[in-house]
Structure 1
Amino acid sequence: MTQSSSKYSEAGVDIDKGNLFVSRIKNIVAETHGPGVLSHIGGFSGLFSLSNEKLKDPVLVASTDGVGTKLAVAKLCNKHDTIGIDLVAMCVNDVVVSGAKPLFFLDYFACNALDLKVAADVVRGIATGCKQANCSLIGGETAEMPGLYQPGDYDLAGFVVGICDADAIIDGSNIRAGDKIIGLASSGFHSNGYSLVRKVFFEELGKNVDDYITPLGCTVGEELLRPTRIYADSMMSIVQHFAVKGVIHITGGGFIDNIPRILPKGCTARINAGSWPILPCFTYLQEMGGITPGEMYRTYNMGIGMMVIVSASDVENIQRQFRDHGEQPYLIGEIQSAETGSDQQIFIDGVY
């Protein structure tokens, strides 16, 4: 056994180190567990009971995602304790769009060779994200693949399962002309468009992660590693008390590609581009990178990470409740009837 393990280690995979890693993160993972968790880390699978979910016709809602090349920035900064928050955010923000409450989360961590500190920091961030989303981290996979990844590289994927009642699924089918669009402030770039971000900051401008950028009020690394905002808690408070007609997570594709995904035929969304403050990171990137407004709105969230479509009569109360949960809501647009013969489903005043 010892000889076999040693030979495998020589090939680049250290089983003992993997076992040590599991032992180090057990308590971190356990801190995220809610009443539905029936298993402990280290088993072959994660078990979760739905007995506490008092729903008439429960529907499971699942999503999977990654964080893209934001990982490259984490490597440049040698800071890995927040990228896990991004991973959780990108997944749970997608399931709350359907009105689902996140239940449990799993992660996949692949690398060249396991660095215990880096991997533990990543899981610590995932646990933090799960706490923010009120979901349990019930398992994951750590894979050492020296023939596939370069030394120091790793990749992440996340998987979340949520739940909602069948008659409470939010799918946009009830959206009508006259409905209003509330936008929730983002924390920055979130986890999208980083290939272009890195090209502008590092290649075209020649910046380093430690360079201080006065318009941003922080270093390059601090701005680019700012964690993605998780909207699960505030969104659950809204869907439990109001009739939400549509929710849009502004991820890759920005405003232009994401808004039409929820709109029924015959409806268009008109966005007032001056109704919320554009974050400095977007203004700086656009100006320094020579990027057109249209491309910015098709690549980035521009300061709005989530949109909620509701009846006009509910706007004031919903905004108040969002503020009570720590969000910054803005009334950013409305739904209109599509012009005859037009298939365009989004208009951004002065931009698109």
Structure 2
Amino acid sequence: MKENTALKNTLKKQLLPRHIRMIAIGGMIGTGIFKGSADTIGLAGPSVIFSYLFAGLLLLIVMGALAEMAIVYPSHNMKDLIQKAFGRRFSFVTGATYCFMWLTVCVIEVIAAGSFLQYWFSSIPLWILCLICSIVLILINATSVKSFGEIEFWFAGIKIFVIIAFILLGVSILFGIIPSNSPSSEYLHNYSNFVPNGWKAVFSTLLVVIFSYGGSELIGLTITETKDAEKVLPGVVKGVMWRVVLFYTLPIFIICGLIPWDKIDANASPFVQVFEIAGLQGASHVMNFILLTAVLSAANSGIYGCTRMLHSLSQSGDAPKSLSYVNKQGVPIYSLGFSVLFLLMGTYIVYLYPE
């Protein structure tokens, strides 16, 4: 009987290397680059590239250490590793805060997804669109972890495809392969224009930049559901880090090369502005779809992160024991139910206060 109960509380190792790679990349590439880059460029100009490189270096150090610990303790997730280093109390505070953070983010992302859908379906009330998004995300997370990994793989794939297409398009415009009305990029080589607000402004953007890289820590929660994690993780971490740094720095370099940093509209996506320079019609529709994908991907990953952290807290006795129950599909179903409750509360708030 005890053996059967233990089996029910065990997560299934169904995630493949490509799933983890895309979960990490998808978690880090979101509205932070598609929309938030307008804010960071507005603060520091083209020199904000150094902020992304510096934050990327910090991220590489942290994630590299995580990969090394996963080799030594292959059956431990992020919270378990924190407990080994700092004790149970610290790991509980970290785990509980992490759950609250993701639950809050999930609600915000679902509301954002509903607002993006209203761009096309303006006659439908926002709360109904939020409810539809919530139901879709709940169904995705109620399936096996392998199905979740597969869906997140394609969510992230869409974002990566757009960034690669953006880089190729931008390079073509900069080198005159595609004609456009963009201003000359010569000002990039002028020090006063490259660092227009001084180095202090570069460091002031680090808060936004590091927040943009948030989601990379999800790798630390996939350890217990990854086949041969101790062999897979080091290679995945190294590959993910340099890809993410390139996917952030190259688009920003292109944006600053095509649009003077002080002419970038803070209320719009710089990506849309570059697409319009290239003469692409319907750029706003394309970007709206990408932003919708980005927020749904973030909410999807957030629900996963919260349910797995609740499951881990329950197993260590820091949360109700029922939250550690895992169904036949390998999903902590009661932990997922707790997350669902927050999503529905968020939808209800939108119903009461649609503005």
Name the TM-score, length of structure 2 as normaliser: 0.23
Would you tell me which structure has more strand in proportion to its own residues? 1
Would you tell me which structure has more helix in proportion to its own residues? 2
Q: Larger relative CO (CA 8 A, sep 6+): 1 or 2? A: 2
Name the TM-score, length of structure 1 as normaliser: 0.23
